[in-house]
């Protein structure tokens, strides 16, 4: 792997879920539970997992919006601080992520204006160059966000993320709120920008085709842990963790008559207030044995692939 920009080790994040009459927290939601992750310069790391597994919590942690309860972080840019610096995010809904009262040139240059581009001419110049780069017409830079279509607003959000020259851009479902016709344009723009500027992306998505198209590596999350990690094609075509297999099987396909049955097998994500003993997945796992009642570490191999299962690869590949 090339230069490691960021490494998270055994990170735990929890949120208060219930308090007693004195305001003391009596129950917590355990959102990240021993998360280990490395992000290398220039890669796209896809993060997949069902709703509630902790993807957004991870994004907020990377952005410095929340602090972990425990764990370590090694950050190339600012080794002594927790996260946030050097990070930018592109959100799912471009309209709600852009200030409706500001003209686009100001939105695009928001992340940098305090630092250095604090005079208007410099900010406009920067906005112009980023507009050209991301496909926004420079003559529209004085307009407000509502004058743009969804796809154009997402271009504005991408330009804003680029303005700060971040080390890592977190893409949180960047196309799922867009019309199908413009989704590919935005994905292609992200790929083009990455090639030109050696950008590093963390891509959070429910959409396996988007992850396949964009990502070099994929991390599969379950109950706040990474259960499988590896090169995209490897993980998506030869999953080694039973959960990855069930996740891939549950991707809706029109030609799949077994889908309902597989969906039933998948069951519900267990509550994350009382974490399961042993392997977090064993209650839902079709292959579970007594040995799965022991905690499972993420076992990495020499190629950088990892799986949190002591019987990996016992499952057949997904039905094409
Ligand atoms: N601020 C918060 N306060 C309390 N619980 C929270 C908070 N943020 C997240 N959670 C809980 O933490 C767990 C992980 O949530 P998170 O939003 O990270 O999941 P997710 O994988 O992003 O889900 P989705 O795909 O639906 O966005 C969930 O049980 C969620 O209810």
Residue owning tokens 């090169």:
231
Q: 305 C-alpha to center of ligand 1: Å?
A: 26
Report ipTM for this prediction.
0.96
Out of 12, 15, 275, mutate this one to test ligand 1's pocket (max ligand atoms within 8 Å of CB): namely 15
* Averaged pLDDT, 203-222: 94
313: left (phi over 0), alpha (psi -120 to 50) or beta: left
Q: Give the global pTM.
A: 0.89
Residue owning tokens 């939105």:
107
Atom of ligand 1 nearest to the CA of 224: 14
pLDDT of residue 288: 87
Residue with CA nearest ligand 1 atom 6? 15
Say whether pLDDT at 267 is over 50.
Answer: yes
Residue with CA nearest ligand 1 atom 5? 15
Residue 3: name the closest of 44, 46, 42 by CA: 42
* Averaged pLDDT, 249-268: 50
Beta bridge partners of 44: 201
Task: Look at 265 and 168; give whichever has higher pLDDT.
Answer: 168
Atom of ligand 1 nearest to the CA of 272: 29
Task: Yes or no: say if 62 and 168 are a contact pair by the CB < 8 Å rule.
Answer: yes
Those residues whose C-beta lies under 8 Å from the C-beta of residue 202, and which sit 6 or more positions away, are 39, 44, 45, 47, 59, 62, 168, 169, 170, 171
Residue with CA nearest ligand 1 atom 28? 52
Confidence tier at 80 by pLDDT (50, 70, 90): low
| HEC readout, the chain | CCCEEEEEEEEEEEEEEEECCCCCEEEEEEEEEEEEEEEECCCEEEEECCCCCCHHHHHHHHCCCCCCCEEEEEECCCCCCCCCCCEEEECCCHHHHCCCCCCHHHHHHHHHHCCCCCCHHHHHHHHHHHHHHHCCCHHHCCCCHHHCCHHHHHHHHHHHHHHCCCCEEEEECCCCCCCHHHHHHHHHHHHHHHHHHCCCEEEECCCHHHHHHHCCEEEEEECCEEEEEEEHHHHHHCCCCHHHHHHHHCCCCCCCCCHHHHHHHHCCCCCCCCCCCCCCCCCCCCCCCHHHHCCCCCEECCCCCEECCCCCCCCCCCCC
Q: 233 C-alpha to center of ligand 1: Å?
A: 28
Q: 198 C-alpha to center of ligand 1: Å?
A: 31
Task: Look at 54 and 117; give whichever has higher pLDDT.
Answer: 54
Q: 137 C-alpha to center of ligand 1: Å?
A: 37
C-alpha distances in Å from residue 185, one per residue of 78, 155, 175, 180, 216: 34, 10, 10, 10, 19
Q: What number of other Cβ atoms are within 10 A of residue 217's Cβ?
A: 21
Q: What is the pLDDT of residues 124-145, one digit of tens each?
A: 999 999 999 999 999 999 999 9
For the record, the structure tokens of 225 come out as 């842990």
Q: 43-71+79-86+166-307: which CATH number, 3.30.420.40, 3.40.50.10890, 3.40.50.300, 3.40.50.10110? A: 3.40.50.300
Out of 12, 27, 29, mutate this one to test ligand 1's pocket (max ligand atoms within 8 Å of CB): namely 29
Q: What is the pLDDT of residues 9-46, one digit of tens each?
A: 999 999 998 888 888 988 899 999 999 999 999 999 99
Domain ranges of the chain: 43-71+79-86+166-307
- Report d(CA 46, CA 32) in Å as an integer: 17
How many CA atoms lie within 13 Å of 91's alpha carbon, on the beta-carbon side? 10
Q: 31 C-alpha to center of ligand 1: Å?
A: 7
Atom of ligand 1 nearest to the CA of 53: 21
Task: Yes or no: say if 174 and 92 are a contact pair by the CB < 8 Å rule.
Answer: yes
Residue with CA nearest ligand 1 atom 24? 51
* Averaged pLDDT, 258-266: 43
- Report d(CA 118, CA 21) in Å as an integer: 49
Name all residues whose Cβ lies below 6 A of ligand 1.
15, 29, 31, 49, 51-57, 272
Residue with CA nearest ligand 1 atom 31? 52
**Mean pLDDT across the chain:** 86
Q: 146 C-alpha to center of ligand 1: Å?
A: 29
Residue with CA nearest ligand 1 atom 17? 56
């Amino acid at each position: 792997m090339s230069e490691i920009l960021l490494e998270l080790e055994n990170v735990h994040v929890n949120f208060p879920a219930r308090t007693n009459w004195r305001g003391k927290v009596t129950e917590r939601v355990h959102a990240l539970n021993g998360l280990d992750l490395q992000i290398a310069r220039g890669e796209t790391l896809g993060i997949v997992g069902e709703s509630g597994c902790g993807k957004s919590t991870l994004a907020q942690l990377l952005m410095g919006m929340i602090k972990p309860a425990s764990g370590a972080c090694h950050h190339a840019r600012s080794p002594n601080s927790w996260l946030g610096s050097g990070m930018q995010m592109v959100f799912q809904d471009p309209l709600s992520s852009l200030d409706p009262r500001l003209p686009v040139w100001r939105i695009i240059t928001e992340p940098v204006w305090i630092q250095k581009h604090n005079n208007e001419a410099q900010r406009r110049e920067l906005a112009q160059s980023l507009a050209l780069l991301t496909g926004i017409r420079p003559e529209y830079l004085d307009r407000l966000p509502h004058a743009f279509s969804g796809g154009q607003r997402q271009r504005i959000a991408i330009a804003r993320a680029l303005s700060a020259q971040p080390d890592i851009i977190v893409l949180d479902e960047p196309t799922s709120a867009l019309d199908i016709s413009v989704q590919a344009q935005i994905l292609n723009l992200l790929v083009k920008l990455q090639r030109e500027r050696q950008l590093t992306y963390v891509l959070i998505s429910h959409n396996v085709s988007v992850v396949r198209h964009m990502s070099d590596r994929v991390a599969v999350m379950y109950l706040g842990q990474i259960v499988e990690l590896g090169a995209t094609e490897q993980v998506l075509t030869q999953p080694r963790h039973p959960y990855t297999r069930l996740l891939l099987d549950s991707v809706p396909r029109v030609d799949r008559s077994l889908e309902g049955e597989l969906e039933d097998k998948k069951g519900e994500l267990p509550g994350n207030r009382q974490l399961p003993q042993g392997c977090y997945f064993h209650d839902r796992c079709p292959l579970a044995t007594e040995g799965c009642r022991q905690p499972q570490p993420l076992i990495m191999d020499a190629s950088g692939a990892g799986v949190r299962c002591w019987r990996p690869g016992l499952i057949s590949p997904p039905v094409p």
